[in-house]
Structure 1
Amino acid sequence: MSSKKESTTRTLLVALAVSLVSSVFVAGAAVSLKPIQIENRQLDKQRSILSIAGLGEGRLPAREVKSLFAERITARIVDLETGEFSDAHDPALFDPLKAARDPALSEALPGDQDIALIKRRERYTTVYMVEQDGRLETLILPIRGYGLWSTLHGFMAVKGDLNTVVGMGFYQHAETPGLGGEVDNPNWKAQWVGKSLFDESGKPVIEIVKGGVDPSSPQAEHQVDALAGATLTSNGVNRLLQFWLGEQGFGPFLAKLRSTQGV
């Protein structure tokens, strides 16, 4: 009986020791790999921005992505409350999504204002600009909002007229493959190019329409086909665009930028 107890105790001690060693190894690996994970996320984000801005098609090598991004893209901090550029944070280090979780750097959105279903909106965010000879060529805006199963994170690029779409896409989401996941379909994303975001009064009127766009409609320049079989994801994209192009999002910033750019 005593021998059995000793055997059981020894087995438990060995199992505990193995568990502790494994835990230390896993924790150490996680810590050592974290900088690489952060760099890869940053690289994917830069690759997405370049693609949506029409500056880099396909899977560019990491070195080329970094070089092209540094050469062509300028990051600026925007104060969403005032609609003005700000020096409150370093755009190379500031994380708007992290700020959105910080009550000191964000605000809770009342239900009637939270049409994108993001709960909190950061005060400061980062926009990206492509400039040529001192003139704005392309503006890339971060956008996000809830679809059917997930928050879709992406970017919309517009021309220097601050109205014509250059590109739109999402770099992170968990929508249903083959349905809401079709936001990744190149054919669907291509429909956005050349569309107009605002009407003559400056109101955001871009929308996804069920049943397909009627080319003869006077509203066709503001419309994109809905995703087949993915009504809730399509509705989510509509809502997030209305939010970020409206007064709670980039509306004040775009209005002030139009005046300074003379458009």
Structure 2
Amino acid sequence: MGVNTTDAIVLRRREFRETSLLVTLFTKDFGKINGLIKGARGARAQAGLNPQLFTLNRIVFYPRKRGDLDMVTECDLIDFFDDAKRDLERLAFASYFGELVDVVGQARQPSSELFDLLLNSLKRLSDNSSAKRTARIFEIKLLKILGLSPNLTNCVGCNKDIEWKATDRASFVLRDGGLRCKECDTGNSVTKGVLPILRGTANFIMHVERASHERVSRIKVSRPVGVQLERLMGAFIAFYVKSNLKSVDFLRKLKI
């Protein structure tokens, strides 16, 4: 395999030996790669070879014949996303997005949808968009990319259509990834993986799944819907991702 050039977002980085960096990058054309950057640090560090977390860069790399570490030889900054790091809340959400992509992204498996989702979400954190709303949009679109979109139109028990015009709430079953109608709802508690869901919450999720990132980023939701979205998406992702995300613990400590 020859030399490759692509755009990449930095998910992880750590110092290695005296002058090098180990990085995990999610690339536009090659999926997730682990890279070694020599000469990135120290007195003789090469300009542009010290990429920061959650930045967009144009990189040049070539795969090693052995192991999973690719050699990154060039790294030119495209976008630092300065405003995404202007306060702790936005930086915490950027960490959350990056960690989720790191967990679900497959090594050397390209996903332009996943790359674009991460890129657009970092852009939204850099403008005046609500950080929390950006996070909910990220979660909903991520689940769609993974083929895990919640079923919000039919009952998981009897397959009957959910008539949202005739009801303002239903029950969401985490294990089945969908709704349970009133007739099939046996009154299980939240601790058994059944969460309440409002009509406004369901409508927001279905709209986000269909619409572009730019359009949905301007949608405002009521406080009850916002609180429920955070709880529902957090529980749903935790159920299927099954990974202890450090960024989630940090967000909880910040009480965001």
Q: Which range, TM-score by smaller chain?
A: under 0.3
User: Which structure is larger by alpha-carbon Rg, 1 or 2?
Assistant: 1
TM-score by length of 1: 0.27
